[in-house]
Amino acid sequence: MASLLEKVSILISANLHWMVNQALEANSLAVVDEYIRRVEDNLEALEDAAATVGGEAKTLRRKQREFEAKTEELDRNIDLFLSEGKDDLAMAAQSRYNTMKELADTYREQADAQEAEFQKLLDAKLRLEAKLTEVKQERIQLQAMLELAKSKEATHDAVQAVGDVSTEAAGMDDIKESIQRRLDKATAQSEIDAHTLDRQMEEVLETNAIESQLAARRARLGLAAGAEG
């Protein structure tokens, strides 16, 4: 179980910026797709582990309660035997009570440990799901960027090919290249501006959504706005 949580921790702490750079440099989404595959595999393993541990925790808790019920019954019997002067029965019941009490305590400790492990698995699952969502969103943007880059490269190659055929006017290639560079620079600047604006809008919308969610929770919990603890 510990090894699974360690793997998940590594995936959660993965450097998304590094993956994006690798994808852009390689002009391929392979590194991102491989990461997504690993995350999905580990999510499945987390779900299986959580189901197993959660089931074990429920079994242990049920056993604990069963033995606690037996100790309560024995406790009453001991008092009854003593009040009736049946010391031998009281002694036997006390011995059995001690055993049942020890078993109940053992099951309680084991159930507590399994429930804590179960919660760790659930927390890891939620964090890994959030990371997966983030990476998938980034992949969509990366794919669009790579497709746009390929499109512009194809356009540039086509323009260059036309320029190579038109050799009658001296210096035309240089003029076209200069114009093309200016167009490329202007296009790149427009993309940067648009991307920055889009990102700013996304951040504002995301902040508003989170604030609305928190406000709804505060209202449900009967908390004043901005209250903590």
> What does the pLDDT look like over 64-116, one tens digit per residue?
999 999 999 999 999 999 999 999 999 999 999 999 999 999 999 999 999 99
Its domain, for residue 109, covers: 2-135
Domain assignment of residue 119, yes or no: yes
Predicted confidence at residue 172, as pLDDT, reads 44
- Widest CA span of the chain, in angstroms? 126
Domain assignment of residue 105, yes or no: yes
Domain assignment of residue 199, yes or no: no
Lowest mean pLDDT across 13-27, 43-57, 84-98, 204-218: 13-27
How far is 165 from 159, CA to CA, in rounded Å?
A: 10
The label of the residue with tokens 């202007």 reads 186
Domain assignment of residue 168, yes or no: no
Predicted confidence at residue 170, as pLDDT, reads 46
46: which residues sit within 8 A by CB, 6+ positions away? 4, 8, 121, 124, 125, 128
Domain assignment of residue 143, yes or no: no
Domain assignment of residue 192, yes or no: no
> Number of structural domains, the chain?
1
Domain assignment of residue 113, yes or no: yes
**Whether the Cβ atoms of residue 135 and residue 126 lie closer than 8 Å to each other:** no
Lowest mean pLDDT across 10-14, 39-43, 149-153, 170-174: 170-174
Domain assignment of residue 76, yes or no: yes
Higher-pLDDT residue of 36, 7 = 36
